[in-house]
Structure 1
Amino acid sequence: MTHIAVIGAGQAGASLVAKLRNSGFDGDITLIGAEEALPYQRPPLSKAYLLGEMELERLFLRPESFYAEQNITLRLGTRVDAIDTASKEIHIGNEVIAYDQLALTTGSHPRRLPASIGGDLDGVFVVRDLKDVDAMAPHVREGARALIVGGGYIGLEAAAVCAKRGVSVTLVEMADRILQRVAAPETSEYFRQLHGDHGVAIREGIGLNHLEGEAGKVTRAVLSDGSTLDVDFVVVGVGIAPAAELAEAAGIEIENGIRTDEFGRTSDPSVWAAGDCASFPYKGQRIRLESVPNAIDQAEVVAQNMLGAEKTYVATPWFWSDQYDVKLQIAGLNSGYDTVVTRQGEGRQVSFWYYQGDQLVAVDAMNDPRAYMVAKRLIEAGKTADKATVSNPEADLKPLLKA
């Protein structure tokens, strides 16, 4: 009987094994995860879960009974030491697990501060998994003082949760503006104002020099301009890196993550990859998408291809971020844009439409689900949108879909 093993029990891994069974695979399946918890959703970790608005059980993607009913062997709290692609074996300590096909859904690692600048002090946190958030939660209390390092979406979401809890928050971003790597100046300005309205002090063009502590716990931050801050805890949101170490050590080709073809197959024909760890071809380039929708969609296509479907994975990039009472929805990829058109709604409702020439390539929509859905459908269909119509808040967007 064929045995499919999956390393990485996050969103992609859980989606992949479920799709295998749903597609009629009746062989053996083993899902191996480093964390003790059942596969769970990560986005609520730093928001509803940290705020105490969501119980642990509600994080789980499926109940434990699902895996038993589907005859999926769960190996949680298990770290894989090595993969031997020649003999098709997974090594866990002295144990060897043979596989016929292997899927790598190992996700990503948060970038951490080096110990040389105080990154190993107590009270310094990243926001990636359940253990991280459980450790940070007791510190997020009214009157505490927090430094957020990094002005991307991870840092901004952490700042929003802390501010809602009554924490005094300072956020530093080394680049000239927050969200510089991922969004237009218009989106940066929107979120700068939003956080300012909630009392968050944002300092752009300023990085962290080092952290200082007493008795092993962080107490002070020294910034790149020489200024200092007394802090009770620090949240580091400076990006993530693909968890590709196992694949690289096994001799599998790496290119900004685990390199796959359009089907999700790696340089080893018996090994596949999906989710944050995988880089794949997209419109003449090679990308990695760090998002829940990509983890699900790519994993499901890979599952079908492991069973012989030969189905090309066509990514439809979309993302979201929740901060205070604002829901940001993003469709498309804005790389290469040269124009941004603003569509202003009421209050905090606004959308920014990215164009490359006359072609719509992406949208950032804040509290404007209608604009988001129209733009998303246009982008996925390869269509564009008349700029004059978009910029006119009185104009109906729906006719654009029929153009």
Structure 2
Amino acid sequence: MAVDMTYLIAGAGLAGAKAAQTLREEGFQGRIVLVGEESERPYERPPLSKGYLLGRTKREEIYVHPQPWYGEHDVDLLLGTAVTGIDPAGHEVSLSDGSRIGYAKLLLATGSSPRRLPIPGADLDGVLYLRRVEDSDRLKAVFPTASRVAIIGAGWIGLETAAAARAAGAEVTVLESAELPLLRVLGREVAEVFAGLHREHGVDLRCGVRVAEIFGRGGQAIGVRLADGSQIDADAVIVGIGITPNTGLALSAGLEVDNGVRVTARLRTSDLDIYAAGDVANAFHPLLGKHIRVEHWANALHQPQVAAKTMLGQDVRYERLPYFFTDQYDLGMEYSGYVEPDGYDEVIFRGDVKTRQFIVFWLRDGRVLAGMNVNIWDVNDAIQDLVRAGRRVDTSALGDPRTPLGSLVGASP
């Protein structure tokens, strides 16, 4: 088939698979090539630290599409293969097998990689990360036999793996450099809720500490040493200190990169025939009026639909609010909106924080920037409406469970 009818997608995760699906649903008849470095067909990552890790989600349930879908929709799925270079002028990519493929349009859905811990002992066996399905399989095998688990980093991955390790019966120590878990994401008021949650479930949560070394015996990690000289013995050490967008291809191709591949609201890069979506994309958000990069499932699910439609010449923009969720022990929550650290001046709780059935709102100048519903369901749409409205709200009514959230959307005290 002619090169000018080839749309190539670099990255065969959720974002890449959804882009291919959207292209076909929108009537694209040309060749679609979906290139993935992993040997697994596209799958979703949230179960890896939640249901799949806990043994509640079957492996077949994590995949984006059944295996036959790709052949049935004439999508060339190249697994175990990486795009190693882009020639924007020649409209061509090079692959790890030495071959080259021409493209008319190219989507970068290359995702992100776990940050590696730059300390002595970080390369010992038994130091584990969680990003791919084989990582989750490894943790599932380790937890039932490990009596002590040390987790470095109290972000979402660190806390979700802590909950899974506790469910398996392991003693868990979580080590965090900040004063509280999730402090940068949620702020002090709500971070304290998660600190209490894990301590109540028996986690030894140590905040404000610095990890100096992972020590081992015979090449196997057996513990963590802190900067103050204290040490934590462990049968397994898990590192969850964040992720880094995979921007190498974009940089080498001369695309604009700034905390990810910089794209417009239509998800187009500085090259008119190259697009980016998912973890790797730093996209302009029309509602927020700024570029943001969001590392959550909802972006990988929805952004590719806009990217694919833009590739087909449709006039669309990505305007969805950032959204993420978590499940830890008996706590389930959804979060919608966007708040930078120190970007709010008021936090309002609605409901019972002690029983962890509440909604919390982050505000600035009386306007709701984000909201999080904890163990209260079917309210996230109303929370998003409040954020989108951008109006000052009656804060006393906002904190009163007797006041319907929908009644506050058009209010302006």
Whether TM-score is above 0.5 comes out as: yes
Equivalent in the alignment of 1:393: 401
Equivalent in the alignment of 2:114: 110
Confirm or deny: 8 A CA contact 1:186 1:352 kept in the other structure.
Answer: no
Q: Secondary structure at the match of 2:185?
A: coil
TM-score by length of 2: 0.94
Equivalent in the alignment of 2:136: 133
Letter of the 2:337 counterpart: G
Q: Deviations over 1:113-148 (max 9, x none)?
A: 13x421111111111111211222211116521111
Paired with 1:49 and 1:332, the residues of 2 have a C-alpha distance of 27
Q: Tell me which of 326, 335, 339 is aligned to 2:346.
A: 339
TM-score by length of 1: 0.96
Confirm or deny: 8 A CA contact 2:180 2:207 kept in the other structure.
Answer: yes
Q: Tell me which of 173, 181, 185 is aligned to 2:176.
A: 173
Confirm or deny: 8 A CA contact 1:326 1:367 kept in the other structure.
Answer: yes
Equivalent in the alignment of 1:281: 284
In the alignment, structure 1 residue 248 sits paired with structure 2 residue 255: no
Q: Tell me which of 99, 122, 127 is aligned to 1:124.
A: 127
Seen in structure 2, the aligned counterparts of structure 1 residues 397 and 284 have a Cα distance that, compared at 3 Å, is closer
Confirm or deny: 8 A CA contact 1:219 1:232 kept in the other structure.
Answer: yes
Q: Tell me which of 319, 342, 357 is aligned to 2:365.
A: 357
- Structure 1 residue ranges (4+ consecutive) displaced by more than 4 angstroms after TM superposition: none
Matches within 5 A, 1:2-401: 2-92=5-95, 93-114=97-118, 116-141=119-144, 144-282=147-285, 283-335=288-340, 336-345=343-352, 347-401=355-409
Letter of the 1:354 counterpart: W
Cα distance, 1:212 vs. partner? 0.6
Cα distance, 1:160 vs. partner? 0.7
CA RMSD of aligned residues (A): 1.5
Paired with 1:260 and 1:398, the residues of 2 have a C-alpha distance of 34
Paired with 1:369 and 1:224, the residues of 2 have a C-alpha distance of 43
Paired with 1:402 and 1:269, the residues of 2 have a C-alpha distance of 39
Q: Deviations over 1:236-292 (max 9, x none)?
A: 110111011111112111111111122111111111101100111122321101111
Q: Which stretch of the first structure deviates more once superposed, 64-73 or 281-290?
A: 281-290
Cα distance, 1:386 vs. partner? 1.9
Q: Deviations over 1:343-395 (max 9, x none)?
A: 12372202211100111100122112244332122213434532101222333
Confirm or deny: 8 A CA contact 1:84 1:250 kept in the other structure.
Answer: yes
Letter of the 2:253 counterpart: A
How many pairs were matched up? 402
Q: Which runs of 5+ in 1 are unaligned?
A: none
Paired with 2:317 and 2:405, the residues of 1 have a C-alpha distance of 31
Paired with 1:269 and 1:402, the residues of 2 have a C-alpha distance of 39
Q: Secondary structure at the match of 2:90?
A: coil
Q: Secondary structure at the match of 2:128?
A: strand
Letter of the 2:138 counterpart: A
Seen in structure 2, the aligned counterparts of structure 1 residues 270 and 143 have a Cα distance that, compared at 3 Å, is closer
Q: Secondary structure at the match of 2:54?
A: coil
Confirm or deny: 8 A CA contact 2:171 2:203 kept in the other structure.
Answer: yes
Paired with 1:143 and 1:288, the residues of 2 have a C-alpha distance of 36
Letter of the 1:268 counterpart: D
Q: Deviations over 1:181-208 (max 9, x none)?
A: 1002121111111111110011110121
